[in-house]
Amino acid sequence: MRYSSIPSAQLVVQHCKAKKIKNIVISPGSRNAPLTIDFSEDPYFKCFSIVDERSAAFFALGIAQQLHEPVAVVCTSGSALLNYYPAVAEAFYSGIPLVVISADRPIYKIDVGDGQTIRQDNVFDRHIGYSANLKQDVSHAVQRVEKYKPEWLSNGDNETAQQSIKDYNDKELNTALNVALQVKLPIHINIPFEEPLYDTITEPTLKALIVPVQNVNDTDAIDYKKYADIWNTSNKKMVLVGVNPPSAVVQKFLDALATDPSVIVMTETTSNLHHPNFFASIDSIVAPIEKSVEPKELFCKLQPQVLLTFGGLVVSKKIKAFLRDYKPEHHWHIDKLKAFNTFFSLTHHFKTDVNNFFGNLMKFTVPQKSDYFKYWNNKRLQYEAKRENYINEIEFSDMLAFDRILKSIPKNYQVQLANSSTVRYAQLFNLDPSLGIFCNRGTSGIDGSTSTAVGAAFYRATPTLLITGDISFFYDSNGLWNNYIRPDFRIIVINNDGGGIFRILPGQEETDNFATFFETAHDRNVEHLSTQFGFEYVVVNELTSLNDRLKDFYALSEKPKILEVHTPRFMNNKILLGYFDFISSR
């Protein structure tokens, strides 16, 4: 086995191995050669080669999302590092431990006009769990150090100086990687390397000093009886769940919530929680109230005394607007690490695991007599019946396509949803409980959906379907530029010739400026990209052909598949807005 001759490269790799960070996504470059050599030479690591750094970071994020463990990305110096930023921000707000490792030029070559140099230290500043800026070795390229930074060797004892550098770097690496493991946030390790970069040795020249990671324990001494008393004296309790991994909550707790007459549980597509009594389409409850003749009275009737939340960010704008105007008396959020004050009413953050919380709280709680669930459940059943009636009446459109697509997905698939229109349409329908639903809701950007889905599919035991819009798909087309796409990977692109979501937002108007700068209308299709990246390709533009193609779309194949669904650009917004009018009518 070969090792880089540069001590700090050896050190970084030893720390990653000690902390069991085994998936390494590498983008090509020269400055990161010492890291590439050590990672790729060690069979412990699974190394991936992805050229586009933006795509590489989202690919790594997808793996980390599924494995619930840190995944590293490695890049060369200069602007390569900046391309990681969208995925770093997503990881920061989604609580995903992305480990960014960047090779840098020596500090004395920054801001002097040297090529591929930028100010890489602390570059992610406001969106990072920890930034470790390592020191440059003085035992490597000694003549260059003497030439450009002689003060580093001023005492004449190179060995002592190098040991001091190793001690500092060990400390920084332990701190950074333990943050990734404990706090589930992205971290950045920046390492300056002087040339030569490709020299290797057969034995490492140092041994890392490893500080074991400490488990994060519950920090609250929670008086569950106190909160159970509040719960038991409230006859209107709302449980609202954001992004949540599948099978994360013990079913008996969900059953208890679902059968309490004083509780309504509102979930989203990304919540991955299911029960026949749960409210799975939040906007279909709130929109009819907005359109009613007496919205204030109905909103007061829906307003909870206790709002209990857990999971990540919530998609529905309507529920956020409602709860900000009609605040609960008590808003409790459950999460070991953080609590966003989304509704500006947070009264307590329970720093514990969801199952631990319910296991302790429910020792003291009893179902309360109330018509809260009964009243709103009748509303839910009414809109569900109306939704089916509406679907049977409408023309071919985004909404009708989503209805058919979501019903067609085989059991146990992983479904990755792009942002914008895609995740919002999915919110309107009930999905099979066996499906695992994921979406990059940390920053809610369209920039890495494909790359994330490809990474998330790599270790998945069951097949993966990505549902995406045309703009999201074209924007992240480099997500297909790699050798790690499984033959059972499936993509459905809803192509409505532009950013269709802008047609349903306030201020939409039929002008050239709107079409060009907001909707970004186009006439492109997916066929050439499908061919370029080795996908089987099918296109449809009406209901009968969509139904026919979906029958064999998921069948085993030697290549991955793309199904492009063309929908009418000028019809989709009218049909979607008409849906809320239809279910709101008496």
Residue 72 lies in a domain: yes
Residue 202 lies in a domain: no
User: Tell me, what CATH number does 62's domain have?
Assistant: 3.40.50.970
| 417 and 333 in a common domain | no
Q: Where are the alpha helices (DSSP H) in 371-522?
A: 372-393, 398-408, 421-426, 449-458, 470-475, 512-513
| 404 and 350 in a common domain | no
Any idea how long the chain is?
586
DSSP lists the bridge partners of residue 437 as 415
Query: For residue 504, what pLDDT band results from cuts at 50, 70 and 90?
Result: low
Q: pLDDT at position 520, please?
A: 79
Query: For residue 199, what pLDDT band results from cuts at 50, 70 and 90?
Result: very high
Task: Supply 386's token pair.
Answer: 């109306």
Segment holding 297, helix H or strand E: helix 295-302
Do residues 273 and 267 touch, judged by C-beta distance below 8 A? yes
| 455 and 332 in a common domain | no
Residue 354 clears pLDDT 60, i.e. is over it: yes
Residue 213 lies in a domain: no
Q: Is the preceding peptide bond at 196 cis, omega within 30 degrees of 0?
A: yes
DSSP lists the bridge partners of residue 331 as 307
pLDDT tens by residue, 561-584: 999 999 998 788 899 999 999 999
Q: pLDDT at position 255, please?
A: 97
| Type of residue found at 406 | L
pLDDT tens by residue, 270-315: 999 999 999 999 999 999 999 999 999 999 999 999 999 999 999 9
| 341 and 286 in a common domain | yes
User: Tell me, what CATH number does 238's domain have?
Assistant: 3.40.50.1220
Residue 193 lies in a domain: yes
| 432 and 341 in a common domain | no
| 450 and 503 in a common domain | yes
Residue after which a domain boundary falls, among 145, 179, 197: 197
| 73 and 18 in a common domain | yes
Query: For residue 48, what pLDDT band results from cuts at 50, 70 and 90?
Result: very high
| 566 and 436 in a common domain | yes
pTM: 0.95
* Cα separation, 72 vs 186, whole angstroms: 10
Query: For residue 498, what pLDDT band results from cuts at 50, 70 and 90?
Result: confident
| Type of residue found at 529 | L
Task: Give how many domains the chain has, as a whole number.
Answer: 3
* Cα separation, 564 vs 21, whole angstroms: 37
pLDDT tens by residue, 203-250: 999 999 999 998 766 556 899 999 999 999 999 999 999 999 999 999
For the CA atoms of 505, 508, 512, 517, the dihedral, rounded to the nearest 10 degrees, stands at -30
| Type of residue found at 521 | A
In the predicted model, what is the mean pLDDT of residues 14-35?
A: 98
DSSP lists the bridge partners of residue 415 as 437, 465
| 400 and 537 in a common domain | yes
| 165 and 22 in a common domain | yes
pLDDT tens by residue, 60-118: 999 999 999 999 999 999 999 999 999 999 999 999 999 999 999 999 999 999 999 99
Q: pLDDT at position 417, please?
A: 98
- Which residue did the predictor score with more confidence, 377 or 513? 377
* Cα separation, 321 vs 344, whole angstroms: 11
In the predicted model, what is the mean pLDDT of residues 444-452?
A: 95
* Cα separation, 489 vs 426, whole angstroms: 20
Residue after which a domain boundary falls, among 377, 408, 431: 377
Q: Percent of the chain having pLDDT more than 90? A: 91
In the predicted model, what is the mean pLDDT of residues 241-260?
A: 97
* Cα separation, 475 vs 58, whole angstroms: 13
Residue 206 lies in a domain: no
| 363 and 507 in a common domain | no
Q: Is the preceding peptide bond at 246 cis, omega within 30 degrees of 0?
A: no
Q: pLDDT at position 155, please?
A: 76
Task: Supply 227's token pair.
Answer: 């909160």
| 133 and 23 in a common domain | yes
Residue 565 lies in a domain: yes
Q: pLDDT at position 502, please?
A: 65
In the predicted model, what is the mean pLDDT of residues 130-154?
A: 94
For the CA atoms of 432, 434, 438, 441, the dihedral, rounded to the nearest 10 degrees, stands at 60
In the predicted model, what is the mean pLDDT of residues 175-202?
A: 97
Residue 436 lies in a domain: yes
Q: pLDDT at position 527, please?
A: 96
Residue 389 lies in a domain: no
Residue after which a domain boundary falls, among 311, 346, 377: 377
What is the domain extent for residue 94?
3-197
Residue 499 clears pLDDT 70, i.e. is over it: no
Q: pLDDT at position 501, please?
A: 66
